[in-house]
Structure 1
């Protein structure tokens, strides 16, 4: 089934296009693959980037916030980086280029998601407390990609590298994965010495 990629705000896309059109911004990016690429670069697959903060304090209830929009930056047939735009008081602004393993992992997870039997709206969900990034496949393809919470019918696909004990690129229902994440972050009770 095809993924229903939500449209990014026009000003977020413009800010990324401006950065990609700036030889200085590309040359000074901390992403070797972006700097080394010869030829045109273009943004692709805009994904709303949500952050789940304070996992251990929410008792398993995912309280997320929109942190920005992430675009895969294509150089030819493959993604060479991501470009992020964030909302500021002046509107959507280009924030940074990113590289590393999450670029190829995001691309791989999107291809994997295309082969699923149900339509989904792709998003990214970051869990900073676990140093974890997931492809969030939202079941409501007509929803505003900038809003909403993970629902029981949604899938989360941990991107590589995933935290120990969580398999990367394996789709998990939200209802199955979230309790595992909260358990990982719940402090172990202090052991008292016997009296």
Structure 2
């Protein structure tokens, strides 16, 4: 079943395309593959980037907040980098280009998700306290991509590198993974205090 990739806000896409066309923005970035690109570059697969806010050990409902839109930058058919936008008081603006393991891992997770029998809206969900990024497969394909919480049945696919003990590229129902994330996030400050 194909993924239902949400359309990015026009200003976000425009800011990435403008930065890609800017020799200064490309030259100043730390992305050797982007600097060395010889073919035509394209911005594809826009994904809203949400951050999972810390969950209290007493329970409490998880919260997310939108922090940007990420685009895979492709040369021919291969993703070589990613570009990200951020929301400013004036609207969407270019933030940065990057490369590394999350680029290839995102592309792989999206290909794996396309083979699922259930339709999903792809998003990214980051968990900063664990240095973790996941492909969030949201079950409501008509939902506003810039808002919402993972539903219990939504799938999270940890991208590589994943934290120790959490398998990369293995889909987890949000309801099953949330207790693991909560435990780890609440244990981390306690471990730091005892050290």
TM superposition score normalised by structure 2: 0.93
The answer to whether the 8 Å contact 1:101/1:160 transfers is yes
- Cα–Cα, structure 1 residues 92 and 58, in superposed 2: closer, same or farther, change >3 Å? farther
Structure 2 residue runs of 5 or longer lacking an equivalent are none
Residue 129 (str. 1) matches residue 129 (str. 2): yes
- Counterpart position of 1:65: 65
- Counterpart position of 1:111: 111
Of 176-185 and 113-122, deviating more is 176-185
- Counterpart position of 2:147: 147
- Counterpart position of 2:42: 42
Q: How many residue pairs were aligned? A: 190
CA distance in 2, matches of 1:19, 1:187: 40
The answer to whether the 8 Å contact 1:53/1:129 transfers is no
The answer to whether the 8 Å contact 1:60/1:182 transfers is no
Deviation per CA, 1:124-180: give whole Å up to 9, x if none: 000000000000000000001001000011000000000000000000000100101
- Counterpart position of 2:159: 159
- Cα–Cα, structure 1 residues 177 and 92, in superposed 2: closer, same or farther, change >3 Å? same
CA distance in 2, matches of 1:116, 1:102: 21
Of 170-179 and 58-67, deviating more is 58-67
- Counterpart position of 1:74: 74
Of 119-128 and 176-185, deviating more is 176-185
- Cα–Cα, structure 1 residues 58 and 22, in superposed 2: closer, same or farther, change >3 Å? farther
- Counterpart position of 2:22: 22
- Cα–Cα, structure 1 residues 27 and 182, in superposed 2: closer, same or farther, change >3 Å? same
Structure 1 residue runs of 5 or longer lacking an equivalent are 191-195
CA distance in 1, matches of 2:90, 2:6: 22
TM superposition score normalised by structure 1: 0.93
